[in-house]
């Protein structure tokens, strides 16, 4: 999730087990340790634009790396906190903050390698958006009150809110999946796989994606007291043999397509307006749109050893904002 949410959850966990007299230092160490795993974003390459995809949410987010990562954070900040608590207690605060990060990230849709190096599978439980103020702001309030009143009881209330919200996300996800299954059945489609992903900053409107006979179908489901479908569109699943028939399968660009396929869990398609652009259809600003946030561009004229180009497509206009808001309000048809 976003750094603020990670810091908030990390602080809540560390606050919840400390003595009231150590609330402030526990808050600080929980915050920094909760954000520390995302330092993996510094791993990048000017010559390999997809390298960061392999390392972001990899070893620093693994459950097996938690003791090491928290030890590094504790050792780095020991000169600061040694006047307030022992290294043992400081390490415990860092451990709890660090441990919360990978688990919270796995709740989002991006994918986290929780069991690296035993497995490179990207775990995504799809029960919360990467940014959700309804999740984060109440936790921040409880953290602030906990520090102000020197009371870990308030931080525990923040954790209760967080856990409750994540559980609600699981319920809403399953409801959205059910809507997607019913929609596919009404169209006479045989579903090969189906996922529901939370829309931006809410648990009310969800993006449903299912695959049927080589085609992806993208729609939105509003799962309030009443369930509602906002129809979207469809796009052909990437078939390199026909859509990228010019591509040498041993070339670096072909290898990059395979890396992108692993990252996206094979939710790839060729852009309908650009035959040399491969898009990740899992994400869009508006849930029922096939309007990707990122893609890779290929070039038939590139050398055999040259990489693809990474493209970020995160421009959000007024029309998209209005469509998203009308879905939230339930007025979108």
- Write out pLDDT tens, residues 147-164: 999 888 898 999 999 999
Q: Are residues 88 and 218 in the same domain?
A: no
- What's the maximum distance between 2 C-alpha atoms anywhere in the chain? 68
- Looking at residue 332, its pLDDT comes to 76
- Looking at residue 316, its pLDDT comes to 77
Bridge partners of 227, per DSSP, are: 223
Q: Is residue 141 part of a domain?
A: no
Q: Are residues 119 and 196 in the same domain?
A: no
Residue 62 in contact with residue 117, Cβ under 8 Å? yes
Q: Given 125, 143, 166, which residue is the final one in a domain?
A: 125
Rg (CA), the chain: 22
Q: Are residues 90 and 228 in the same domain?
A: no
Q: Are residues 113 and 188 in the same domain?
A: no
Contacts of 190 (CB under 8 A, 6+ apart): 212, 213
Q: What are phi and psi of 213, to 5 degrees?
A: 50, 50
Residue count of the chain = 333
- Looking at residue 61, its pLDDT comes to 98
Q: Are residues 329 and 205 in the same domain?
A: yes
- Looking at residue 323, its pLDDT comes to 86
> Which H helix or E strand runs over 299?
none
Residue 6 in contact with residue 101, Cβ under 8 Å? yes
Full-model pTM: 0.94
Q: Is residue 200 part of a domain?
A: yes
Q: Given 75, 108, 125, which residue is the final one in a domain?
A: 125
- Looking at residue 151, its pLDDT comes to 87
Q: Are residues 107 and 203 in the same domain?
A: no
Q: Are residues 202 and 333 in the same domain?
A: yes
- Looking at residue 317, its pLDDT comes to 80
Q: Are residues 223 and 302 in the same domain?
A: yes
Name the token pair of 288: 């029922």
Sheet with strand 227-236: strands edge to edge: 193-198, 205-212, 215-223, 227-236
Q: Are residues 85 and 207 in the same domain?
A: no
Query: Which residue ranges of the chain lie beneath pLDDT 70?
Result: 333
Which residue stretches of 244-332 are H helix?
A: 252-263, 318-329
* Distance between CA atoms of residues 106 and 122, nearest Å: 8
pLDDT in tens, 243-296: 999 999 999 999 999 999 999 999 999 999 999 999 999 999 899 999 999 999
Q: Is residue 158 part of a domain?
A: no
Q: 244 vs 16, 236, 309, 312, CA distance in Å?
A: 54, 13, 16, 21
* Distance between CA atoms of residues 222 and 237, nearest Å: 25
- Looking at residue 226, its pLDDT comes to 93
Q: Is residue 31 part of a domain?
A: yes
Bridge partners of 236, per DSSP, are: 215
Domains of the chain: total: 2
Q: Is residue 133 part of a domain?
A: no
Q: Is residue 168 part of a domain?
A: no
Q: Is residue 147 part of a domain?
A: no
Name the token pair of 314: 């995160």
Q: Is residue 301 part of a domain?
A: yes
Which domain, by its residues, includes 112?
3-125
Q: Are residues 198 and 333 in the same domain?
A: yes
Q: Given 85, 103, 125, which residue is the final one in a domain?
A: 125
């Amino acid at each position: 999730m976003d750094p603020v949410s990670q810091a908030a959850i990390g602080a809540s966990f560390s606050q919840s087990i400390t003595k009231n007299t150590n609330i402030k230092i526990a808050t600080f160490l929980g915050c920094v340790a909760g954000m520390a795993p995302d330092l993996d974003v510094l791993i990048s390459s000017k010559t390999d634009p997809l390298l960061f995809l392999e390392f972001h949410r990899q070893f620093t987010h693994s459950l097996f790396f938690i003791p090491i990562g928290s030890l590094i954070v504790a050792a780095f900040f020991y000169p600061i906190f040694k006047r307030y608590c022992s290294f043992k207690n400081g390490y415990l605060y860092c451990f709890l903050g660090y441990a919360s990060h990978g688990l919270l990230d796995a709740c989002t849709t991006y994918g986290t390698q929780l069991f690296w190096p035993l497995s490179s599978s990207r775990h995504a439980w799809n029960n919360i958006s990467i940014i959700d103020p309804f999740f984060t702001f109440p936790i921040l309030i409880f953290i602030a009150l906990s520090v102000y009143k020197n009371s870990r009881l308030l931080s525990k209330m923040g954790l209760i809110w967080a856990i409750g919200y994540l559980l609600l996300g699981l319920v809403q996800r399953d409801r959205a999946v059910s809507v997607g299954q019913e929609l596919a059945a009404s169209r006479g489609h045989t579903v090969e796989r189906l996922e529901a992903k939370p829309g931006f900053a809410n648990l009310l409107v969800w993006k449903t994606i299912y695959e049927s006979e080589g085609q992806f179908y993208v729609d939105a489901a509003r799962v309030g007291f009443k369930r509602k479908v906002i129809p979207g569109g469809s796009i052909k699943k990437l078939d390199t043999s026909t859509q990228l028939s010019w591509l040498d399968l041993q070339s670096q660009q072909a290898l990059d397509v395979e890396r992108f396929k692993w990252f996206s869990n094979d939710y790839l398609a060729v852009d309908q307006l650009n035959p040399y652009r491969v898009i990740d259809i899992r994400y869009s600003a508006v849930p029922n749109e096939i309007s990707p946030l990122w893609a890779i561009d290929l070039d038939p004229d590139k050398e055999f050893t040259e990489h693809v180009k990474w493209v970020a497509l995160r421009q959000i206009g007024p029309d998209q904002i209005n469509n998203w808001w009308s879905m939230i309000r339930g007025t979108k048809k």
